[in-house]
Amino acid sequence: MASSRVLYVHSDDYVRTCDSMARLPHRASMVHLLIKAYGLLKFMRVIAPRMASHDDLAAFHSDAYLSHFELVSREGEDADLPESQQYGLGYDCPVMEGVFEYAAAVAGATLTAAEGLRNGVCDVALNWAGGWHHAKKDEASGFCYVNDVVLGILKLREQFQRVLYIDFDLHHGDGVEDAFSFTPKVVTLSFHKFSPGFFPGTGDIAEVGLGRGRFYSINVPLSDGIADEKYVDICHSVLQAVNTTFLPEAVVCQFGADTLAGDPMCSFNLTPKGLGQCLQIVLGWQKPTLLLGGGGYHLANTARCWTYLTALVLDQVLASEIPEHQFFPEYGPDYVLEVTPGCRSDTNNPAHLDQVLAEIRAVVRAEIWNLAMVRAIARH
Ligand SMILES: CC1(C)CN(C2CCCC2)C(=O)N1c1ccccc1/C=C/C(=O)NO
Ligand SMILES: [Zn+2]
């Protein structure tokens, strides 16, 4: 990628705000400082994010939710108002003081990235602190308060007719799928762990979208233990099929890193190399592409992954040795960039995966028919 055509959304204030989210102590700093320590900033156009305004957030979220969320954020922990529960606030989405400002900062950063793509300022835009895919129109969910992914896609839709969303996070991208399940203008494609009792519980292969959006939601449910080779194979098949039938004009990827070997979620067995091969497929299409983060609870591996993917976008090869920097001690005991796969067995049996692929192909073929009909009708 010609370097100046890569936009990296960053400011020290933004990183400090993201670091303040207790659940992910200083993850945003670790990611940024590793990218910086590897000398990658000079290849990118660094732009400070803007704050999302109330109107920005209201493009997707309901006023009722936003005003309640802003109110409890001002009051902090002791705001256990009865209706907080109906808005998903509390439990998985604790209300820390200033959480509204945090959510508005992240949404503003994703919008800043999306605007760069919409205005043709760049070909690839990065906001690794974004990707909060569970938030619903009027409900926080799964530690996601504002759905910056939906806001970014809506921003791209101002310029591009068809947008493809690809969710590589361990968890189903339910908030984004819900937002676009009725429209054929956005295809949502999610690869995720699907297993009884595993959050959020949605994302079965049978979920294909509703109404005119039928066949424009694609779900690839997977089981524990999947490693790079099989994951990349499946991704490659599905991504090629979706790209050739849907012909997206822009792409949004959520690269939640909780799929990596060593993550406390202890589910998939991927490495940054495998995710990098998936990213290479998308970059090969040479379409305006927005890259976002998401989950990722082994902080050093998450920083390793997103730094590796950033270098991949920039066609830069990184040395294995982690460069000296403030968080160097976090990368022990080997202090290398590579993540070693675990020795857990892959519970995805080949027959089941073939079945999943066959069903996905049927959905995509149906989409072709659907698309042909939609286009035929549009022509008259
Ligand atoms: C609170 C966190 C986000 C953290 N966490 C673990 C990770 C390791 C130690 C705690 C969870 O399981 N979480 C969740 C709790 C309830 C519902 C959802 C999630 C995660 C969602 C996600 O990653 N979506 O992509
Ligand atoms: Zn996740």
Q: Is 171 in the pocket of ligand 1 (CB under 6 A)?
A: yes
Ligand 1 binding pocket mutation candidate from 172, 176, 297 (most atoms within 8 A of CB): 297
- pLDDT value at residue 129: 98
pLDDT digits (tens, 9 = 90+) for 147-165: 999 999 999 999 999 999 9
pLDDT digits (tens, 9 = 90+) for 54-84: 999 999 999 999 999 999 998 876 556 778 8
- pLDDT value at residue 77: 61
- pLDDT value at residue 208: 83
Ligand 1 binding pocket mutation candidate from 24, 27, 92 (most atoms within 8 A of CB): 92
pLDDT classification of 124: cutoffs 50, 70, 90: very high
Told to judge if 134 belongs to the known catalytic residues of this protein, a careful annotator would answer yes
- pLDDT value at residue 79: 59
Going from the Cα of 374 to the center of ligand 2, the distance in angstroms, rounded, reads: 34
- pLDDT value at residue 361: 83
ipTM, two decimals: 0.99
- DSSP letter, residue 314: T
Q: Whose CA is nearest to atom 22 of ligand 1?
A: 295
220 neighbors 355 (Cβ within 8 angstroms): no
Answer yes or no: is pLDDT of 376 > 70. no
Answer yes or no: is pLDDT of 371 > 80. no
Q: CB-side exposure of 271: number of CA atoms within 13 Å?
A: 10
More confident residue, 323 or 2: 323
- CA 188 remoteness from chain centre: 11
Nearest listed ligand to the Cα of residue 23: 1
Going from the Cα of 323 to the center of ligand 1, the distance in angstroms, rounded, reads: 30
Answer yes or no: is pLDDT of 3 > 60. no
Q: Is 131 in the pocket of ligand 1 (CB under 6 A)?
A: no
Q: Is 184 in the pocket of ligand 1 (CB under 6 A)?
A: no
Answer yes or no: is pLDDT of 88 > 80. yes
Kindly report the average pLDDT of the chain as a whole number. 93
Q: Is 178 in the pocket of ligand 1 (CB under 6 A)?
A: no
Task: Catalytic residue, from 26, 133, 134, 192: name it.
Answer: 134
pLDDT classification of 344: cutoffs 50, 70, 90: confident
Region 235-263: what's the mean pLDDT? 95
Sign of CA pseudo-dihedral 54, 23, 47, 317: negative
Tokens matching residue 328: 């160097």
229 neighbors 275 (Cβ within 8 angstroms): no
Atom of ligand 1 nearest to the CA of 173: 25
Region 351-372: what's the mean pLDDT? 79
- pLDDT value at residue 233: 94
Tokens matching residue 218: 């694609």
Contacts 24+ apart (CB under 8 A), 33-37: 33/325, 33/326, 33/327, 34/303, 34/304, 34/307, 34/322, 34/325, 34/327, 35/8, 35/306, 35/307, 35/310, 36/325, 37/322, 37/323, 37/324, 37/325
Q: For the purposes of burial, counting CB atoms within 10 Å of the CB of 78, is it exposed (0-12), middle (13-18) or buried (19 or more)? A: exposed
pLDDT digits (tens, 9 = 90+) for 191-204: 999 999 999 999 99
Going from the Cα of 147 to the center of ligand 2, the distance in angstroms, rounded, reads: 14
